[in-house]
Amino acid sequence: MNDAVRKMLATIAHQTAATASTTGRSTLSPTVLAAIEAVNRADFVPDNALNRAYDDGPLAIGYGQTISQPFIVALMTDLLDIEPDHKVLEIGTGSGYQTAILSKLAAEVYTVERIENLAEQARQQFEKLGYDNIHCRQADGYLGWEEHGAYDGIIVTAAAAAVPPALLNQLKSGGRMVIPLAEARGYQDLVLIDKDKEGKAHSQPLLSVSFVPLVAD
């Protein structure tokens, strides 16, 4: 492990402890941290940002989109409680960094990106790096990817005004969704949604966040 990665992991641990009173997680799963360590963030940032690849902050990736800060990526991943046999849906592929981390933990990852150029760039990068359990689609994320549902976990990497009904329908009973939700005043909360065995959804706001908006076609 190089010094930049070691520093990034230390910062994630510090941020996790500092936000434990609202997230309920004072430490993250060792398997999630191992996935963070295994995925080279520099592979998913633009060339002009390589010197900041391991900084604990978001980075612009073009088209008005960003790659989320490592702490938020780690926390959102951890909140899904992914098991090795799980099938996960991601809305908002972006550069593919979050997707790659999910692929280290789940059996299959289905990822949807609205912006065609980003979707194609991410697909090519996954192929180049040998990620063979990631399935990419360029489409409206509000609609999810129905034909491969239901999903054990759904992660949304852009802020919606409300939970898209299609995504809730595609979440398996007993599954979890992590999504940033925007309030009318402009504030955003990271929200954890648990769907119980009877199919009823229970939501819990955890943390103030800042994401680009989720756009529907």
Residue 137: CB atoms within 10 A of its CB come to 17
The answer to whether the beta carbons of residues 198 and 173 sit under 8 Å apart is yes
Q: Residues 21, 26, 29, 68: which is the catalytic one?
A: 68
Distance CA 49, CA 109 (A): 27
Matching residue, tokens 């960094």 = 97
Encode 126-163 in three state secondary structure. HHHHCCCCEEEEECCHHHCCHHHCCEEEEEECCEECCC
68 is known as an active-site residue: yes
Residue 109 parent element (H or E): strand 108-113
As annotated, the active-site residues are: 68
